[in-house]
Amino acid sequence: MAGLRNKGLRALGWLALGAGAVACQPLAPAGQTAAGEPHPGLAFARTACGACHAVERQSVSPNPNAPPFAAIVNQEGLTGNTLSSWLRNAHNYPDEMKFRLEGDTVDDLVAYMLTLRDPNYRPPI
């Protein structure tokens, strides 16, 4: 009986060790999936948004009136749901944004944008 309990504890220890190793793996960099492939939302952001917005973490918006994505997602109170809702339902897009975002495109874009969150973010002066 004691032998079975020791084997069970040993197996539990190995399981905990394995779970700890997985939890310690670094997150994928912004703009990449865990497999190291470009995030689907980044591809859309570059082609549809990049002419005006800075779509990557350390970039500058080509249009000074277009906020960088990092500034957008690091606003206090912004959530994935509020961003998604705004992108799906906004009727106040600038004239340059003559397109409608729907479905998976919004989901991918929001998922990518949220990778730009940084608890140490400070807006440029």
Q: What is the per-residue pLDDT across 35-65, written as a single tens digit (0 to 9) for each?
A: 566 788 999 999 999 999 999 988 899 999 9
Confidence of residue 15 (pLDDT cuts 50, 70, 90): very low
Q: What share of the chain has pLDDT > 70, as a percent?
A: 64
What is the model's pTM? 0.67
Confidence of residue 17 (pLDDT cuts 50, 70, 90): very low
Domain 30-114 grouped into CATH 1.10.760: yes
Contact between 66 and 52 under an 8 Å Cβ cutoff? The reply is yes
Domains of the chain by residue range: 30-114
Region 13-30: mean pLDDT is 41
Q: Is 101 helix (H, G, I), strand (E, B) or coil?
A: coil
